């Protein structure tokens, strides 16, 4: 490791020496090179004579700032490309994804954020929201109509859900008595979801303001208890892997953290996992290249990640209306996929429609594969 660092240091020194010998001479040392360059209308970075707002040789701005306020400006620019690209790219990504993708593929790139930086920014934002957005005040329980449930409706619904919870408890007890370890994880997870609904309805029946609970945390807690009691049967075909999995399930909260962390670090795998399906959809089109598919996948995954961020915020605010979640989980992704396919590849409506259906199915396979991979890595790490 130290040898690699020394080699890198030597490379930097060599580059600096080459620049000093080959580049134009500018004042060094204690002299303000930026001020001198500005006075002589030369670039402070490379010394090239200036003929506009940017250097024609290295691209640096002609006017360099030396104020504290500019530090904040550079901070914002570094995070969001605070130069107008964000506000051009995001609306296009949301409402005209086909035009955005095709414009970038065809070389019209100066006005948009490149797909890779946008993908990294959105993925970071998505997992930041997943990690830190917790349920806040004001959560509500919705009735069958999607409207907030009244206290009287909650009081009427409470006995039914308590009866359902008792029935699940009976099924769990029967599975334990019969030694049916294969059925227990599903029953335990289902009980956690019903218990969550019961607690929220009970709070509404008592006229309390309630928030959505952490369902994954509840399931993890239930599974952790079942694992410690020896009620979960783990068989991965290898005893050493079985030991690791059993040990991991004793602390499921840590496993969830590891899965989340791995998913963030390995989220780029979604792109190569998606490329074979896109290639299959356009295998007979000679004018479509793998590069086009990569740009399509990066922009598409970025949009789906933004939907996840919206869902995290909605969950934290206690939004439970069925129409909202149907639109967020199903309608918006399919509509976006159709619009992006149609515009990016210049397809007819019919061609875009059947490819949307196929790509939706392939997306489920891709997400399932990625999820299974993350769970495996998280459990066995």
Tell if the pTM clears 0.85, that is, is over it: no
Same domain, 244 and 268: no
Task: Note whether residue 253 is domain-resident.
Answer: no
Give 113's contacts (C-beta < 8 A, 6+ positions apart). 81, 85, 86, 89, 121
Which has more pLDDT, 99 or 325? 99
In this prediction, residue 360 has a pLDDT band, given cuts at 50, 70 and 90, of very high
Same domain, 294 and 244: no
Burial class (CB in 10 A: 0-12, 13-18, 19+), 199: middle
**CA–CA dist 279, 276 (Å, integer):** 5
**CA–CA dist 196, 47 (Å, integer):** 66
In this prediction, residue 136 has a pLDDT band, given cuts at 50, 70 and 90, of very low
Please give the pLDDT value at position 65.
66
Q: Which domain holds residue 13?
A: 2-64
Stretch among 51-65, 82-96, 106-120 having the lowest mean pLDDT: 51-65
Reply yes or no on whether the pLDDT at 153 is more than 70.
Answer: yes
Reply yes or no on whether the pLDDT at 332 is more than 90.
Answer: yes
**CA–CA dist 133, 125 (Å, integer):** 11
Task: Note whether residue 29 is domain-resident.
Answer: yes
Same domain, 320 and 362: yes
**Among 348, 374, 347, 323, residue whose Cα is nearest residue 142:** 323
Please give the pLDDT value at position 229.
58
Q: Are 67 and 45 in contact (CB under 8 A)?
A: no
Please give the pLDDT value at position 213.
40
Question: What DSSP designation does 40 have?
Answer: T
**CA–CA dist 181, 256 (Å, integer):** 22
User: Number of folded domains in the chain?
Assistant: 3
Task: Note whether residue 75 is domain-resident.
Answer: no
Taking residues 301-319, report their average pLDDT: 83
Please give the pLDDT value at position 251.
65
**CA–CA dist 180, 159 (Å, integer):** 29
**Among 231, 233, 193, 230, residue whose Cα is nearest residue 213:** 193
Reply yes or no on whether the pLDDT at 173 is more than 70.
Answer: yes
Taking residues 142-158, report their average pLDDT: 64
Adjacent-strand bridge partners of 54: 61
Please give the pLDDT value at position 41.
72
Same domain, 222 and 276: no
**CA–CA dist 332, 338 (Å, integer):** 10
Reply yes or no on whether the pLDDT at 202 is more than 60.
Answer: yes
Taking residues 121-146, report their average pLDDT: 59
Same domain, 57 and 100: no
Q: Are 299 and 100 in contact (CB under 8 A)?
A: yes
Same domain, 277 and 368: yes
Percent of the chain clearing pLDDT 90 (strictly above): 21
Same domain, 17 and 111: no
In this prediction, residue 250 has a pLDDT band, given cuts at 50, 70 and 90, of low
* Average pLDDT along the chain: 74
According to DSSP H, which parts of the chain are helical? 2-22, 33-39, 68-80, 85-95, 97-105, 115-132, 151-178, 184-205, 215-228, 239-249, 252-265, 270-281, 290-316, 322-326, 332-344, 349-380
**CA–CA dist 318, 322 (Å, integer):** 12
Same domain, 298 and 370: yes
**Among 47, 73, 79, residue whose Cα is nearest residue 60:** 47
Reply yes or no on whether the pLDDT at 58 is more than 60.
Answer: yes
Reply yes or no on whether the pLDDT at 80 is more than 80.
Answer: no
């Amino acid at each position: 490791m130290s040898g690699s660092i020394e080699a890198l240091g030597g490379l930097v020194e060599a580059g600096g020496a080459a620049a000093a010998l080959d580049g134009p001479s500018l004042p060094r040392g204690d002299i303000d090179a930026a001020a001198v360059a500005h006075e002589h209308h030369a670039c402070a970075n490379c010394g090239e004579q200036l003929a506009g707002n940017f250097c024609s040789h290295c691209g640096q701005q002609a006017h360099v700032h030396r104020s504290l306020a500019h530090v904040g400006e550079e901070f914002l620019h570094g995070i969001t490309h605070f130069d107008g690209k964000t506000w051009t790219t995001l609306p296009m990504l949301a409402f005209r994804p086909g035009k955005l993708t095709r414009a970038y593929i065809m070389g019209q790139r100066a006005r948009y954020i490149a797909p890779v930086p946008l993908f990294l920014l959105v993925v970071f934002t998505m997992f930041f929201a997943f990690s830190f957005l917790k349920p806040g005040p004001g959560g509500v329980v919705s009735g069958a109509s999607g409207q907030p449930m009244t206290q009287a409706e909650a009081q009427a619904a409470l006995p039914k859900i308590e009866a359902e919870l008792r029935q699940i408890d009976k099924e769990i007890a029967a599975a334990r008595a019969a030694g049916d370890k294969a059925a227990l994880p599903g029953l335990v997870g289902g009980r956690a979801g019903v218990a969550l609904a019961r607690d929220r309805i009970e709070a509404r029946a008592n006229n309390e303001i309630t928030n959505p609970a952490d369902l994954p945390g509840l399931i993890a807690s239930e599974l952790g208890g079942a694992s410690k009691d020896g009620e979960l049967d783990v068989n991965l075909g290898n005893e050493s892997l079985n030991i690791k999995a059993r040990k991991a399930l004793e602390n499921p909260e840590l496993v969830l953290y590891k899965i989340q962390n791995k998913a963030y670090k390995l989220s780029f795998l979604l792109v190569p996992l998606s490329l074979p399906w896109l290639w299959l959809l356009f295998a007979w089109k000679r004018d479509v290249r793998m590069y086009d598919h990569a740009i399509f996948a990066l922009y598409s995954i970025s949009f789906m990640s933004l939907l996840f961020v919206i869902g995290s915020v909605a969950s934290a605010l206690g939004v439970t209306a069925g129409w909202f979640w149907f639109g967020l989980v199903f309608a918006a992704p399919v509509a976006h996929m159709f619009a992006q396919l149609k515009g990016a590849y210049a397809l007819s409506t019919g061609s875009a429609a059947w490819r949307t259906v196929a790509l939706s199915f392939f997306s489920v396979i891709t997400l399932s594969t990625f999820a299974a991979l993350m769970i495996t890595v998280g459990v066995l790490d």
